[in-house]
């Protein structure tokens, strides 16, 4: 069989959230390429070689995957969530555009997955039920000034906002500044959701007001959702539900 390359999303954590399409691709693969924790989510089996690499080696692993496919391997590049949301699909296409022209003839497919953003939204209710935007708060690949500009403009436009990579040990002040920017632009009662490790045994969902949010409520396993002015909270027995109505005033 000739080689192919499939770029897939493994969902937010639970095996039940991996799509049947992705499961079929993994069962047919000869090689799995990706960041070590994501590769480790794929069970070893006879005939499968797992190629794990460091978090900041996206282009190198993309080139490796393309070359393996060219050599006749059936290659799956894995990401968590959806591969097109701050993940490996863009990295593969960057490598494809800049690399060996022969790679462009390969059979390449992108298979969607359930993103952390959508999984977190579903756990909380429907906070992304109207217009929203998604911002990666890591400044590893873009300057902080651009992140802050996008935060301000999104708040001005009254989008609900989903934040990836809010806070890490190497970036402890970025989310603190994010909260400052939001408090300058939004009312203090704006709802904010901290959804950590969604669909895993460590899952926790916390809903609070912007005025009460602190940087320590987020880490790299947390997906943060900030509501728009329209976003509502429904109190009930058990966990509350948060939703944004379908119409805007």
The CA distance from 21 to 19, in Å, is 5
Owner of token pair 């943060």: 224
Contact 82, 9 (CB under 8 A): yes
The CA distance from 94 to 97, in Å, is 5
Containing H/E element for 109?
strand 107-111
117-243: same fold as 4-114? no
The CA distance from 103 to 101, in Å, is 5
Topology given in CATH for the domain delimited by 4-114: Cobalt-precorrin-4 Transmethylase; domain 1 (3.40.1010)
191-196 and 222-226 strand pairing: antiparallel
Which region among 12-21, 118-127, 168-177, 236-245 has the lowest average model confidence (pLDDT)? 168-177
* 3-class DSSP state of 158: coil
pLDDT for position 55:
83
CA torsion angle for 123, 125, 130, 131 (degrees, to 10)? -30
**pLDDT tens digit string along 61-88?**
999 999 999 999 999 999 999 999 999 9
CB burial class (10 A; 0-12, 13-18, 19+) of residue 116?
buried
Q: Report DSSP letters for 2-48, one per residue.
A: --EEEEEE-BSS-GGGS-HHHHHHHHH-SEEEEEHHHHTTSPP-TT-
pLDDT higher than 80, residue 245 = yes
pTM: predicted TM-score of the whole model, two decimal places: 0.93
Q: pLDDT-based confidence at 171, cuts 50/70/90? A: confident
Q: Could you tell me the residue ranges of all domains in the chain?
A: 4-114, 117-243
**pLDDT tens digit string along 81-103?**
999 999 999 999 999 999 999 99
DSSP 240: -
Topology given in CATH for the domain delimited by 117-243: 3.30.950
pLDDT for position 157:
97
Q: pLDDT-based confidence at 2, cuts 50/70/90? A: confident
Residues composing the chain? 249
**pLDDT tens digit string along 23-34?**
999 999 999 999
CA-closest candidate to residue 132, choices 115, 144, 146, 145: 115
Containing H/E element for 95?
helix 88-98
pLDDT higher than 60, residue 1 = no
């Amino acid at each position: 069989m000739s080689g192919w390359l499939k770029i897939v999303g493994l969902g937010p954590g639970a095996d039940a959230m991996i799509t049947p399409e992705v499961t079929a691709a993994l069962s047919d693969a000869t090689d799995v390429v990706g960041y070590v924790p994501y590769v480790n989510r794929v069970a070893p089996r006879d005939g499968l070689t797992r190629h794990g690499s460091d978090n900041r080696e996206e282009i190198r692993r993309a080139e490796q995957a393309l070359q393996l496919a060219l050599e006749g391997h059936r290659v799956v590049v894995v990401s968590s969530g959806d591969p097109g949301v701050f993940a490996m699909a863009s990295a593969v296409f960057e490598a494809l555009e800049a690399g060996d022209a022969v790679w462009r003839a390969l059979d390449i497919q992108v298979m969607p997955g359930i993103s952390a953003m959508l999984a977190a939204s579903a756990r909380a209710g429907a906070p992304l039920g109207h217009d929203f935007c998604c911002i990666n708060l890591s400044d590893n690949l873009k300057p902080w000034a651009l992140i802050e500009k996008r935060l301000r403009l999104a708040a001005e436009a009254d989008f609900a906002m989903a934040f990836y990579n809010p806070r890490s040990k190497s970036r402890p002040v970025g989310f603190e500044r994010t909260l400052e920017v939001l408090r300058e632009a939004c009312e203090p009662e704006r709802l904010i959701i901290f959804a950590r490790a969604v669909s895993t045994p460590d899952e926790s969902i916390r809903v609070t007001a912007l005025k009460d949010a602190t940087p320590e409520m987020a880490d790299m396993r947390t997906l943060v959702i900030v509501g728009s002015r329209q976003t509502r909270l429904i109190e009930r027995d058990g966990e509350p539900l948060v939703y944004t109505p379908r119409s805007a005033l």
